[in-house]
Amino acid sequence: MIIRETQEQDNQQIAAVIRAVFMADNFPKTGTAFADAQLDFMFEAYDKPRATYFVIENEGKIVGGAGVSQLENSTENICELQKMYFLQEIRGKGIGFQMIQKCLEKAVELGYEKCYLETLPEMVAAQSLYQKMGFEYLCAPLGNTGHTTCPVWMIKELTIDNK
């Protein structure tokens, strides 16, 4: 498996992966990434300054992804860890750790001071991983992402080594 930056030809596959995760895990479809207009145009959505999206490719097939971008509607120097989803077949293999590490390294490279994320209460394993990576819970959301059904908010101060 390789982690690489997304390419335009990945758009259909990564959108299908994210939708498949929502369907398989029975996550809410409104007020989440599932309903984001950019879902079908991930390459274009992240093809801008201070943003990137990575995909995980396994034998030519996209099986997951995650990215960072400026936190929507925030004037602070905070990026958001966005759209981190993996198909069931690759979960529990340390890929999430590798993906977060790659995203945080890129966030530091892009000059961000903090990394924010929003998630669902059901994503207990993801929250555990985020905590291990140094994310801490917040009592209220930052910015205005439109993800109204993601009531778990976390943030991490970024350092050169991300540890």
- Kindly state whether residue 105 falls inside one of the protein's structural domains: yes
Q: How many domains does the chain have?
A: 1
- Kindly state whether residue 10 falls inside one of the protein's structural domains: yes
Q: What is the pLDDT of residue 129?
A: 95
- Kindly state whether residue 13 falls inside one of the protein's structural domains: yes
Full residue range of the structural domain in which residue 90 is found? 2-157
Q: What is the pLDDT of residue 150?
A: 81
Helices (H), ranges, 25-123: 42-46, 95-109
- Kindly state whether residue 163 falls inside one of the protein's structural domains: no
Q: What is the pLDDT of residue 61?
A: 95
Residue 138 CA, distance from chain mean position: 17
- Kindly state whether residue 162 falls inside one of the protein's structural domains: no
Task: Say which CATH number the domain at 69 has.
Answer: 3.40.630.30
* C-beta of residue 152 within 8 angstroms of C-beta of residue 131: no
Q: What is the pLDDT of residue 32?
A: 76
122-153 confidence digits (pLDDT tens): 889 899 999 999 999 999 999 877 766 788 99
Q: Quote the pTM value.
A: 0.91
Backbone φ and ψ for 36, nearest 5 degrees, come out as -65, 135
Q: How far apart are CA 137 and CA 81, in angstroms?
A: 14
- Kindly state whether residue 49 falls inside one of the protein's structural domains: yes
